[in-house]
Chains A and B, each alone.
Chain A
Amino acid sequence: MYSLKFDVDVCKNCPTGACLVNCQYLNADQETAVREMVNMAEGKDSFVLQECVTCYACEEYCKRGNHPFYLITEKREEKGILTAPRAITTQWINLCEPQGKYRLGEVKEKALSFGFMPEFLRWAKGKLFEDVMPSFIFGQEFFCNVVYIHFAETATFKKRLPGVIENFEKLGVQEVVFLHDECYGAFAHLAPAYGMEVPFKPIHYYEYLYNRLNELKDLIQPLNIRVAYQRPCSARLCADKHHFVADIMDLIGVELVQREYQDQNALCCGGIFSMCFGYDLAHEVQERNIEDMKTHQAQYCVFNCPACQNTLGSMVAKAGIKPIHMIHLCRMAIGEM
């Protein structure tokens, strides 16, 4: 069985306790943060196990190579502390179970992975993708299974992720561009944290888009719009790729508004919050988030994750801000939309 690499000694002499000190949903000073992390690592109880809302952000805040959120998840699971109602967890486990209904394009050494997000089957087209398409991979068999960490349910990804890695391997792919950054996070971050070997090179689609846009530079018409960026939870698992957001915006002439809830301070879209905890937390966070976009006069809200867009898209639209996915924004910049 795969187990999490977590070094409690690294926490014991941590000068910042950044994981919890920076947390937007819990209150902790450095001393509390370190104490609670150590307590949890040693199997003791902690308020964190009860109160963490699963935003993943501490995985980014910790700069010392530990995995605070994965630890919280492990310990919750050990103690049977549920984050989501059982029915929600079961629904997701059933929904993403491999059923032999995956879809493959003409898969070559380099391929696009759509994970289990059907939107990408429609969205990945045009010049941006033409040098890889129709080499694509889609379906439960290639789904990263990271979502279960929201539900303190590591057993499912521990069981399924090795099979998913094997499925990629069987296709003989060398490089896989993941259009959902949670999938990228699975192979670049979570799998290594659990000692799973990944026999191909995962590429974040922002990096891919950035490089493609550079190749297509002649086609770019600066968009001259003001956008707010909705950073998803999964971006915390690939924080080293976050700079591509600003890089891409620069390249296509978009002004990224400098709002309060961006970068490290980003707020969750609220989708998982509502499923796990009901109305109040999700709506409070959503209202704050959208208000912030309005205050900074964003014309568009750019989404990275289709699930965030499903959750928040109509709400931002009602606030007069156009929801748009990063892929569509980039296609707009080269005159395809």
Chain B
Amino acid sequence: MTDIAQALARIVGDAYVSNRPEEAYFYARDPGLMPSHPPDYVVVPKSVEEIQDIVRLAHQEKIPIVPMGAGLALTGLVIPLKGGIVMDMKRMNRILEVNEKGRYAVVEGGTSQGLLRSHLEKHFPRLRHSIPDSPATATIAANVMIHGQGRLTQQYGFNSDMICGLEVVLASGEVCRIGSPALSSDWFSKGAPMPDLSGLFLGWFGATGIITKIGVKLYPRKKMRDVEIFITDRQDLVPDMVYELTHTEMVEDINVFAQPKPMIFKDNHHITLFFTGDTEEELEFKRKMIWHSLDRFIKAKDGGFMGVPPVMKPTLLDMPQRSVSRFADVKKGGGFEYSGPIIMVDKYPDCAQKILELAEKYDLGYSGMARIIGRSHAMMYGFAFTFNRADEEMMERTRKALHEVSEFALETGGVFWKATVDEQKMAMDKMDPTTLGLMKMIKANMDPRGIMNPGNWEVDE
């Protein structure tokens, strides 16, 4: 063992540090398309103090440090671009508090979506959080770090809008609290009514600090959930349809998808609508409002509600929706990546057109899927392509297609979500220079030795 490895072992114990090639191989990559790069060390801490000690060591030795949840962001954000330490957060998985009446939970920085969900189901059946469709191992802190979206996003915004406080280890190794927990034992706000410092961390991909605790807002969990699918062949009308649906304020989540396979989905756009109720009456009332909001399109024969067979419902109502992960492996070989710009809903027709063009041009399997953010305030449009990881030529075609998506997204007024390093550069090139200057100042001050997930959000001289 090297000196660094020994020093790390002293902090976390021998079992939780490695510089062996088999671990380095695994931690060098994610399931997406970015080239791999091995870490020098992998470390799996268990406590805030251990994290502080590791960061202090990294700071002192000027070693890069990359926090990692489940590594499922797919855009290379946990690949240690400059080597150094990958800090796997999975052992930091305790649920520290659930405040039922205040509707929040405080969890550690490596707690998975699945763990919180099952804890709530078991102990607090009237509470829920905004679950994304990533596999259940995905972590809450990482999802918020990349401004993820989940089942409650149409109602309450990005998952990062639904947090109520952070505890963060800074690049110096100091630990600090953000929001109400900075001065209170109660976690109810990430900033307001004080200056909101959460923005110094959220969206930075770990390049400014490591989240060790996070307050997650919880919401009422109704006893029943149901789903309907409205289908249309008029992509140009999808924004109007979404506008009407969001106006009802009756829908839990709105996802729109279009894909050529299986045949039942060919040639149409599918607006999947989830809604909830505590009683049959509530559920039926919402269903009625939702259906009626689209009457004018039905009358004009521009769209209709398909009959969702009872056998299909459990798949659709699943949280996370496992069919998304199954799609990830349609080409076998387990390759899946999507570029998902955050973009205005009125750009849906352009996005739908673009994915079709690219799938044809590069001969790729595709699925276009949008999740509505807020009451039609924006959407995440996922240009998803599947590929076989053993087929380098197919991977190259996918890379090219995704690059075109990035260019298209910027031209169309979109902003990259969980941007790859290349996309980060593209975004910074286009960004208002004063804003960029501000980002540079923040990064320089918060990470003066450039050790925090280096390569990400690095402002060029």
Chain A residues in contact with chain B, CB under 8 A?
82, 84-88, 90-91, 94-95, 97, 99, 271, 274-279, 283, 307, 310-311, 313-314, 318
Contacts and interface: CB of A to CB of B under 8 A. Distances in A.
B304 A276 contact: yes
Give the secondary structure class of B's interface. Answer: mixed
Contacts of B310: 310, 313-314
A278 B231 contact: no
B306 interface: yes
A91 B298 contact: no
Contact of A86 (B291, B299, B302, B307): B302
Given A84-B301, A87-B304, 5 more contacts: A84-B304, A85-B298, A86-B301, A87-B267, A310-B307
B183 interface: no
B231 A87 contact: yes
Interface of B: 231-233, 263-264, 266-269, 280, 287-288, 291-292, 294-295, 297-299, 301-307, 309-310
B267 A88 contact: no
A88 B231 contact: yes
A264 B447 CA distance: 80
B233 A90 contact: yes
Contact of A275 (B268, B288, B304): B304
A276 B280 CA distance: 24
Contacts of A310: 307, 309-310
Contact of B305 (A99, A275, A283): A275
A115 to B, nearest CB: 15
A277 B297 CA distance: 10
A278 B266 contact: no
Contacts, number: 74
A85 B301 contact: yes
B292 A91 contact: no
B291 A271 contact: no
8 contacts: A85-B297, A85-B301, A88-B306, A90-B233, A91-B267, A278-B298, A279-B292, A310-B307
A278 B304 contact: yes
B264 A277 contact: no
B233 A275 contact: no
Given A90-B268, A94-B267, A278 B291 contact: yes
A124 B302 CA distance: 39
Given A94-B264, A95-B264, A82 B301 contact: yes
Nearest to B294: A278
Nearest to B308: A310
Contacts of B301: 82, 84-86
Contact of A274 (B263, B280, B302, B305): B305
Contact of B233 (A87, A95, A97): A87
A91 B301 CA distance: 14
A99 B263 contact: yes
Contacts of A87: 231-233, 267-269, 302-304
A277 B231 contact: no
Contacts of B303: 85, 87
A91 B265 CA distance: 7
A275 B307 contact: yes
A87 B268 CA distance: 6
* A-B pairs with lowest CB-CB distance, top 8: A85-B304, A279-B291, A87-B231, A278-B298, A87-B233, A82-B301, A88-B304, A94-B266
Contacts of B304: 84-85, 87-88, 275-276, 278
Nearest to A318: B280
A95 B263 CA distance: 5
Contact of A91 (B231, B295, B309): B231
A278 to B, nearest CB: 4
A97 B263 CA distance: 8
Given A87-B303, A313-B310, A277 B267 contact: no
A90 B301 CA distance: 12
B280 A279 contact: no
Given A99-B263, A310-B307, A318-B280, A277 B302 contact: no
Contacts of A91: 231, 264, 267-268, 306
A170 to B, nearest CB: 23
